[in-house]
A and B are shown apart, each in its own frame.
Chain A
Amino acid sequence: MQIDLRTVSIQPLRNTFDHLVRRFGDKPASRYQEGSYDIQAAENLHYRPTWDPEQELYDTGITRIVMQDWYALKDPRQFYYSTYTLTRARQQDSAEASFAFVESRGLAEALSDELRRTALDLLVPLRHAAWGANQNNTFICGYGYGTAFTQPCIYQAMDNLGIAQYLSRLGLLLGGTEALEAGKAAWTSGDAWQPLRRYVEDCLVLRDPFELFVAQNVALDGLLYPLVYEALVDDHLAGRGGSAVAMLTQFMSDWFAETGKWVDAVLKVAAAESEHNRAQLQTWIGAWSERAAAALLPVVGQVPGAEADELVGERVAAFKARLEKTGIAL
C-alpha cells in the first residue's frame, strides 16, 4: 500500500535559472545542466593575461576548431563532480577488491617469471605515459573554452593520475620498487619506449587545446588502450596464465570503454558543426594516429609471442571504424 505523505504545497515562481530556460525551455533543469552550462564568464573580461597578452582570459581563438556554441560539446555521461566521484568510488571499490584478491591468494607469486617480467616490462613504463596524459588533460581543462567541454577534462586528468597510480601499485606488487626503477629507466632510455616518449613530449608543447584533445584522448588513448589492455593483457597474457594481471588492470579496460563514449560524442558534434572542423579533425587525427601506431609498434613488439604488426594493424582498422561512426573518415 502506498501512503502519500503531505507537505504544504507552494507554487514555485519559476522552474530554473534564466540561462537554462533560454537553452532548454521553461522546465526544471538537471543538476548536470545547472552545474555546467554558462558557468564560465563569457563577457566583459577585465584584463588580458600577462602570460600571453595576445589571448583573452577565455579565448575561443586559441584552437583551430570553431564552434558557434562550445556548450554543444556535451558529455553523454552527464558527469558533474558528484556523479563523477560516485562512479569512480564504485570502480575503486572493485579495483581494491581485485588487488586484495590477487594479494590474499598469492596470485602474483604464482605467475611464472616470464609472465611477470612481461607484465612489468609492458605496464610499468606506462605510468609515465599516464602522467603525460594527466598533464595534457589538465591543460585542456585549463585553456579550453566552455565548461561542457572542459569539465570532463579535469575528471579525465584525475583518472589519468589514478591510472598512473594503479600501474605503480601493480609494479610494486609484482616487482617492488626495483620494478618501478626499471620501468622508469626503460621509459627514459629503452629503445622500445622512445617513440612513445617522444610522442608524449611533443604533446606537452601543444598549446591548441583541441589538437591536444585529439593527440591524447583520441589518437594515443584510442590505440594504446585497446592494444595494451585488450589485445595484450586481456587476450595475450590471460591466455598464457596471466589472468591475475588482467584483474589488476580491469579499471583501465572499463575506463576506456566509458570515456570513449564521451570522446566520440565530442568528435561527432565538432565534426558535424562545419566542413572546416571536419577537415581539421581529419588532418589532426590522421597525423597523430599514424604517429601513435608507429610509437606503439615497438611497445607491442617487446611482448614475447605477440605479433606486433598484426595486432597494431587490427587495432588501427578498428580505430578507423570507430571514427567513421563519428563522421570522420581517415
Chain B
Amino acid sequence: MDMKSANRKLSLKDKYRLFTRDLGWEPSYRTREEIFPYVQYEGIKVHDWDKWEDPFRLTMDAYWKYQAEKERKFYAIIDAHAQNNGHLHITDARYLSALKIFLQAISPGEFCAHKGFARVGREFPGVGTQVACQMQAIDEIRHAQTQIHALSNYNRFYNGFHAFAEQRDRIWYTSVARSFFDDAMSAGPFEFMIAIGFSFEYVLTNLLFVPFMSGAAYNGDMATVTFGFSAQSDEARHMTLGLECIKFMLEQDPDNLPIVQRWIDKWFWRGFRVLGLVSTMMDYMLPKRVMSWREAWNIYGVENGGALFKDLARYGIRPPKGWNDAEEAVDHMSHQLMLGLYQWSFGTAFHAWIPSDEDMDWLAKKYPETFDRYYRPRWMHIRKLAAAGTPFKNYGLAKLCQCCQLPVVFTEPGDPTLSCHRERVHQGEKYHFCSDHCQALFENEPEKYVQAWLPMPQLFQDLQGDLTAWMDWVFLRDGEDNGDYADSLDRRNFEAWRAMATSNQ
C-alpha cells in the first residue's frame, strides 16, 4: 500500500472536508430535533447543509500558528507603547473621548459577539457552518481582550476609562450598543447571523473600524492602531462568513427571502443608529480628522454597500428600507448627536466640547448644505452662553427611543428644522421612538421591545431623580470623568505631561 501517493492526491478542498464536515455523523440514538432545538422556529428552511460553501479553509494547526504570530507582535507593540509613555504622542487628549466610548460601548459588543457565535457555533446542524462560527467565537474574545489590553494603559493616566464594565451595564448611552447586541443574541441563530455576521460585520464594519482605526493612526495612537491592524485579517474572515451565510439562506429556499429581507431592513437600521456614535467621533472628537462622516458614508456605505446590494439583487434582495432616510440623515446626524452629547455631558464618562472656529470651518466645508445653515448658529449660541459663564446644560433627561435607545434628537426626513418624534400606545403603555423605522421595528416585535431596559426611567424609578446617587450608581466621578473638555483634569494633565516630555521646564 502506497499511502504517501494516496495522500498527495487529496486536494486542499477535499482535505479540509475530511478535517471538518466529515467529522460529523447522522445521529441515531437521539434525534436531530433534540440536538439542534433552535433551528426551526424562525421559519428559515434549509434542505441541505452540505451545500454550505466553506468561506475560508483554516485548520486548527494553521489557526494557532498565524494567530500566535499576530499576538506576539501585538503585545510587543503595546508593551513598548506603555513603557515609553506612548499616550503622550496622541494629538491631544480630546481624542480620548472616542476611545472611552469605544471601550464602554463597543468592546463589550465584541464579547457579545463571542458568546453569540459560540451559541450558533453549537446550534447550527452543519459542521462546516459550526466550525466557521466557532472560529469567529474565539476571534471575538480575542478582540474584546486586545481592546481592553490596548486601552488599559490609558486608564492608568486618564479619566473615563476606569468603570467601563459597570458603565456597560448602567450608563445611558452604552445601552444603544448593548440593546443592539442583546437584540441580536436574543434572536434565533439565523437572525443572529444576519444581524452580526452580515449587517454588522459585512455592511457596517468598514464604517466603524476603518474610520476608527485610521483616526487612531492620524492621531498618534499606536496602541489602538495596532489592535486595528491585528484584527484586520480576522475581520476579513468574518466578512466572508457573513456573506456566505446570507447567500446560503437565500439559495436554500425561496421562502427564506421575505424573512431575510425583513432582517436586513431591521439590522441595517439598528446598525445605522449605533453608528450615530461613530459619526460624532469622526466629525468632532478626532483632533486630526481623517475624513468626514459623510465622506466615509460615501465610500463605505454608498459605494461598497451599493455594490453589495446590486450583487444580492439576483436573489431578489433589495436595499434596506431605511437606506434613503439614512442617506439624508448622514448630513445631520453627527451634529445633532454631538449637540446632544454636549448638553448632557454632565452625565457622560467622556468629555464633550464646543468646536473651535477652525473646527467649524472644517465642518462647514465638509457639510456645505447643512452645517452653516443649521448647526453653526447653535454652536455659536452655546459658545456665547459659555463665555457669559452660563454654559448650556440640559438637566432635563433625554427621552430615549424605545428601540435604538438614542435620545430623540433627530429631525424629520425632509425638514431639518422639525424634531422627529413618534409615539404609540401598546397595551395601555406609551412608547417613544426617534423615527418611523424604529417604530416599525417595535411594531414587528412588540413583545420583545416592551422588555427594553431604559436607563432614564431607571433614574426615576429607583433613585427618585437624585443625580448624585445616579452618578455613584454608574461609577461616574463628577468633575473628573464628565463635563467640558476645556476645564477637565485630562486636559490639564495631558498638557503638563507633554510639556515635561518635550521641554526642559
29 contacts between A and B (CB under 8 A): A10-B500, A14-B155, A16-B156, A17-B152, A17-B162, A19-B166, A34-B149, A39-B144, A41-B168, A44-B453, A45-B453, A50-B186, A50-B187, A51-B38, A57-B182, A81-B142, A81-B146, A82-B74, A82-B75, A85-B67, A86-B71, A92-B64, A127-B23, A142-B137, A159-B60, A161-B60, A162-B64, A175-B1, A201-B27
Complex contacts, A143 vs chain B, CB 8 Å: 119
Complex: A85 Cα to B62 Cα, angstroms: 11
B84 within 8 A of A: yes
B437 within 8 A of A: no
B461 within 8 A of A: no
A307 within 8 A of B: no
A297 within 8 A of B: no
C-beta contact mask, B81-101 vs A, less than 8 Å → 1, else 0?
001110010000000000000
Measured CB to CB, the residues of A under 8 A from B are 7-8, 10, 12-19, 29, 31, 34-35, 38-52, 57-58, 80-82, 85-86, 88-89, 92, 95-96, 103, 108-109, 127-128, 130-131, 134-135, 138-139, 141-143, 147, 150-151, 154-155, 157-159, 161-162, 164-165, 168, 172-177, 180, 184, 187-188, 197-198, 201-202, 204-205
Complex contacts, B165 vs chain A, CB 8 Å: 17-19, 38-39
Q: Is A47 a contact partner of B137 (Cβ separation < 8 A)?
A: no
Q: Is A202 a contact partner of B182 (Cβ separation < 8 A)?
A: no
Q: Is B118 a contact partner of A162 (Cβ separation < 8 A)?
A: no
Nearest CB of chain A from residue B456's CB, rounded to whole Å: 12
Complex: A151 Cα to B115 Cα, angstroms: 10
Chain A, Cβ-Cβ closest to B38? A51
Complex contacts, B158 vs chain A, CB 8 Å: 13
Given contacts A44-B178, A142-B119, A204-B35, 17 further A-B contacts (CB under 8 A): A7-B84, A34-B152, A40-B111, A41-B111, A41-B168, A41-B182, A44-B169, A44-B458, A57-B186, A81-B141, A88-B64, A96-B61, A139-B118, A139-B122, A165-B19, A177-B18, A197-B25
B50 within 8 A of A: no
Stretch from B127-135, B218-226, B281-289, B354-362 that touches the partner: B127-135
Complex contacts, B121 vs chain A, CB 8 Å: 138, 142
Task: Please pick, from B3, B35, B130, the residue contacting A175 in the complex, using a CB distance under 8 A.
Answer: B3
Complex contacts, A41 vs chain B, CB 8 Å: 108, 111-112, 168-169, 178, 182
Chain B, Cβ-Cβ closest to A130? B23
Q: Is B141 a contact partner of A151 (Cβ separation < 8 A)?
A: yes
Nearest CB of chain A from residue B380's CB, rounded to whole Å: 35
Complex contacts, B71 vs chain A, CB 8 Å: 81-82, 85-86
Chain B, Cβ-Cβ closest to A44? B453
Tell me the residues in window 445-483 of chain B with beta carbons closer than 8 Å to chain A beta carbons: 448-449, 451-453, 455, 458, 475
Chain B interface size, under 10 / 10 to 19 / 20 to 34 / 35 or more = 35 or more
Complex: A49 Cα to B83 Cα, angstroms: 44
Complex: A24 Cα to B166 Cα, angstroms: 16
C-beta contact mask, B203-227 vs A, less than 8 Å → 1, else 0?
0000000000000000000000000
Complex contacts, B157 vs chain A, CB 8 Å: 10, 12-13
B34 within 8 A of A: yes
Complex: A188 Cα to B25 Cα, angstroms: 7
Q: Is A204 a contact partner of B30 (Cβ separation < 8 A)?
A: yes
Chain A, Cβ-Cβ closest to B493? A13
Give the interface SS of chain B, mostly helix, strand, loop or mixed.
helix
Complex contacts, A134 vs chain B, CB 8 Å: 134
Q: Is B122 a contact partner of A172 (Cβ separation < 8 A)?
A: no
Q: Is B25 a contact partner of A128 (Cβ separation < 8 A)?
A: yes
Measured CB to CB, the residues of B under 8 A from A are 1, 3-4, 6-7, 10, 18-19, 22-30, 34-35, 37-38, 41, 59-61, 63-65, 67-69, 71-72, 74-75, 83-85, 88, 108, 111-112, 114-116, 118-119, 121-122, 127, 130-131, 134-135, 137-138, 141-142, 144-146, 148-149, 152, 155-159, 161-166, 168-170, 175, 178-179, 182-183, 185-189, 448-449, 451-453, 455, 458, 475, 493, 497, 500-501
Q: Is B118 a contact partner of A141 (Cβ separation < 8 A)?
A: yes
Known contacts A135-B122, A174-B3; A184/B25 CB under 8 A: yes
Give the interface SS of chain A, mostly helix, strand, loop or mixed.
helix
Task: Please pick, from B6, B25, B119, B130, the residue contacting A176 in the complex, using a CB distance under 8 A.
Answer: B6
Q: Is A162 a contact partner of B29 (Cβ separation < 8 A)?
A: no
Q: Is A142 a contact partner of B19 (Cβ separation < 8 A)?
A: no
Complex contacts, A15 vs chain B, CB 8 Å: 156
Q: Is A173 a contact partner of B7 (Cβ separation < 8 A)?
A: yes
Complex: A218 Cα to B121 Cα, angstroms: 22
Chain B, Cβ-Cβ closest to A37? B165
Chain A, Cβ-Cβ closest to B114? A154
Known contacts A13-B158, A86-B72; A131/B169 CB under 8 A: no
Chain A, Cβ-Cβ closest to B70? A85
Known contacts A8-B501, A12-B157, A18-B166; A85/B68 CB under 8 A: yes
Chain B, Cβ-Cβ closest to A188? B25
Nearest CB of chain B from residue A165's CB, rounded to whole Å: 5
Complex: A203 Cα to B146 Cα, angstroms: 34
Chain A, Cβ-Cβ closest to B36? A204
Complex: A49 Cα to B112 Cα, angstroms: 14
Considering residues B130, B141, B161, B175, which has the most beta carbons from chain A within 10 angstroms of its beta carbon?
Answer: B141
Known contacts A12-B156, A19-B165; A57/B185 CB under 8 A: yes
Complex contacts, A81 vs chain B, CB 8 Å: 71, 138, 141-142, 145-146
Known contacts A40-B115, A108-B3, A139-B122; A34/B186 CB under 8 A: no
Q: Is A142 a contact partner of B118 (Cβ separation < 8 A)?
A: yes
Known contacts A18-B165, A44-B170, A168-B18; A13/B156 CB under 8 A: yes
Chain B, Cβ-Cβ closest to A11? B157
Q: Which 8 A-B pairs have the closest CB atoms?
A: A89-B68, A162-B60, A142-B118, A35-B145, A131-B23, A142-B119, A12-B156, A176-B6
Q: Is B61 a contact partner of A162 (Cβ separation < 8 A)?
A: yes
Complex: A34 Cα to B35 Cα, angstroms: 35
Complex: A8 Cα to B85 Cα, angstroms: 8
Q: Is B83 a contact partner of A7 (Cβ separation < 8 A)?
A: yes
Complex: A41 Cα to B186 Cα, angstroms: 14
Complex: A128 Cα to B137 Cα, angstroms: 21
Q: Is A49 a contact partner of B24 (Cβ separation < 8 A)?
A: no
Q: Is A43 a contact partner of B29 (Cβ separation < 8 A)?
A: no
